Amino acid sequence: MKKSVFIKITFLFIIGIPCSIKAQKAPENWYNLDLVNDKVYGVSSNKAYETILKGKTSKQVIVAIIDAGTQIDHEDLKDHIWINKNEIPGNGIDDDHNGYIDDINGWDFIGGKTEDIFHDNFEITRIYGKYKSIFENNPDAAKHDPKHFKIYDLSKNAFFTKYNETKKKSDELGEIKDWLERMENEFKDKVISLEDVNAFPVNDSILTQYKLTLYKSMDKGTSFLEVKKSVDTRYEANNNKLIYHLNVDYNSRSIVGDNYDDSSERFYGNNDVKGPQARHGTHVAGIIGAIRNNSIGVDGVADNVLIMVLRAVPDGDERDKDIANAIRYAAENGASIINMSFGKAFPYDKKVVDDAVRFAVSKDVLFIHAAGNDHLNLDKEGYRFPNSNYENGKGNAKSNWIVVGAINSNGMPGSFSNYGKKMVDVFAPGVSINSTVPEGKYTKLNGTSMATPVVAGVAAMIRSYYPELSAKQVKKIILKTVYTPNTEVPTPGNEKVFISWENLCKTGGIVNAYEALKSIH
C-alpha cells in the first residue's frame, strides 16, 4: 500500500460531515422519494410500495448493524429490533448455548463487566505503539525482521504526520477559543454585535483571519454564541484525537478484559447494545428500519425488517478482532444483510476478518459497506478496510459485497464522498438525511455512513418480498437497475473539476428500489 494512504485517509468516518455542494432544501424524507414524482434523487422506495409491492406479502428479514450502538427503545425503532427468542432476558444464563449470556438484541464486543469503551486509538497509533519498543533505535532488530520493520516505518511516518497536523490544529483552535472567551467576558452583560467584534483587538495572523470569518458568519445571521459553541465543539473533538486517537500510551482494552493478542477469542463483551454514544448507530438503524407510516418521525426504507445491534465501533478505529466476531455473530444468528458504516486505512489482523467474511458468505449474507468520507479516488489511493479482497490475493467476496458512495438530493456526489470506477459500486442518498437519534429524537446527518443503510434498506426490501433470491442475486439486481445520470458532476474534493458518472463508480449510477423490484417480475 502507498505511504500516501496513511497520510491522506481520515481514519474514522462514523461521524457525518457537511457537504459543501449547494443544493435546494430537500424534503424531510427525500431518500425514499422519486425523481419523476418528487423531483429529488431518492431511491423511489415509496413508489415501489405504492405500486409493485402493493398487496404483496413479505417475510421478515434480519439486518445486522455493526456500529457504535443503537437506542433500541426509540419510539420509531422499538418494534423493529431483533429479539433472540432462544434467550431468557436477565437470568444470567446462556440459554441458547451460543457463548453469549443474555444476548437479547445483539452483543457489545467493546464492553466489559463494569463499563463500555467510548474512545480508542487510530489503528496507526496501535501499530506504531506495538513495534516502537522493538525497532526504535535498534538497527539489529530491523535487519532480523524486515517485514515488520517496514510496517513499523510506514505507521511511524503516518502517525507523526497525523499527530503534527492534529497538534497544529488543536493549538490554533485553542487560541481562537481563548480569544472568543476573552470577548465573551468583555461583553458579558450584552449581546455581542458586529461592531463589538470589529473593535475587539487581535495580535496575530491566525486571529486576524478568524476575526474575518467570525464577522462574516455573524453578518449572515449566526449569533456569537452559536459560533463559540461550534468552536468549542471542534476544539474538544480535535483535542480528543490527541488524548485518545493519537496517544500511544492510551489503552482502552483493559475495559474489555479479553486477551487482545488472541484473535481467535470470541466470547467476551456484554449485552449493552446502546453503549455510551449511540447517535451514529441509531441514525443508521432509522434509515434502514424506522417504522413506516406510523405518523411519527421518519420512514425507514424497509418495512418488514428486524435490526440486530452489534456494537464494535468506538470513537476511534474499530479493531479487527471485534469486527470479525460481530460478523460471525450476525451470520450465526440469522442476519441476511450486514450494514458496515465504518472503515479505516490500515488493518491489524486482516486474516481474522477475512475468515469471518468467508463464513458469512457461506451463510448467504450480503455486506453493504460505506466508501468513506475522504473525497478520495479509491482506485488511486488504495483499499479501505475491511474490504472484499482476501489477504495475499486468495480470492474475494465481491459477489456478496456492495460499496456505497453518497449523493445529495440534487443527484450530485457529496463533496466528502470517496469514489472510484473500480472500488465503489454505487451511490445513494447520503446528504441531509433525517433519521432517528437517541432520547427519542431525530436529526439530519451527512456521510457515506448514511448512504450505506439506504442501500441496506433496499436490499432488505428485495430479500423480504423475494426471499428465494440469494445475496449474489440481490447484489446483481441492485447494480443492474441503478439510475444512470447522463451528466458530468463536480469531483468530490475538487469541485472545479468535473467528472462523468461512469468514472465515479462501477455502475455509473444511483440505487433505485423501484427499478430493482420491477426487474424481478
Domain segments of the chain as ranges: 3-119+265-520, 123-245
Angle at the Cα of 49 from the Cα atoms of 424 and 507, rounded to 5 degrees? 20
219: burial class by Cβ within 10 Å (0-12, 13-18, 19+)?
exposed
- Cα separation, 307 vs 285, whole angstroms: 7
Task: Let me know if domain 3-119+265-520 sits in CATH 3.40.50.450.
Answer: no
- Cα separation, 286 vs 104, whole angstroms: 19
- Cα separation, 174 vs 236, whole angstroms: 9
pLDDT in tens, the chain (521 residues): 333 333 333 333 443 433 333 445 788 899 999 999 999 999 999 999 999 999 999 999 999 999 999 999 999 999 999 999 999 999 999 999 999 999 999 999 999 999 999 999 999 999 999 999 999 988 899 889 999 999 999 999 999 999 999 999 999 999 999 999 999 999 988 999 999 999 999 999 999 999 999 999 999 999 999 999 999 999 999 999 999 999 999 999 999 999 999 999 999 999 999 999 999 999 999 999 999 999 999 999 999 999 999 999 999 999 999 999 999 999 999 999 999 999 999 899 999 999 999 999 999 999 999 999 999 999 998 778 999 999 988 899 999 999 999 999 999 999 999 999 999 999 999 999 999 999 999 999 999 999 999 999 999 999 999 999 999 999 999 999 999 998 999 999 998 999 999 999 999 999 999 999 999 97
Pair 351, 362: CB distance under 8 Å: no
* Total residues found in the chain within this entry: 521
- Cα separation, 56 vs 115, whole angstroms: 45
Pair 406, 267: CB distance under 8 Å: no
- Cα separation, 506 vs 421, whole angstroms: 5
DSSP character at residue 26: P
- Cα separation, 375 vs 373, whole angstroms: 6
Pair 271, 102: CB distance under 8 Å: yes
Distances in Å between the Cα of 120 and the Cα atoms of 11, 181, 279, 314 are 12, 30, 17, 6
- Cα separation, 384 vs 369, whole angstroms: 10
Question: How many Cα neighbours within 13 Å face the side chain of 127?
Answer: 25
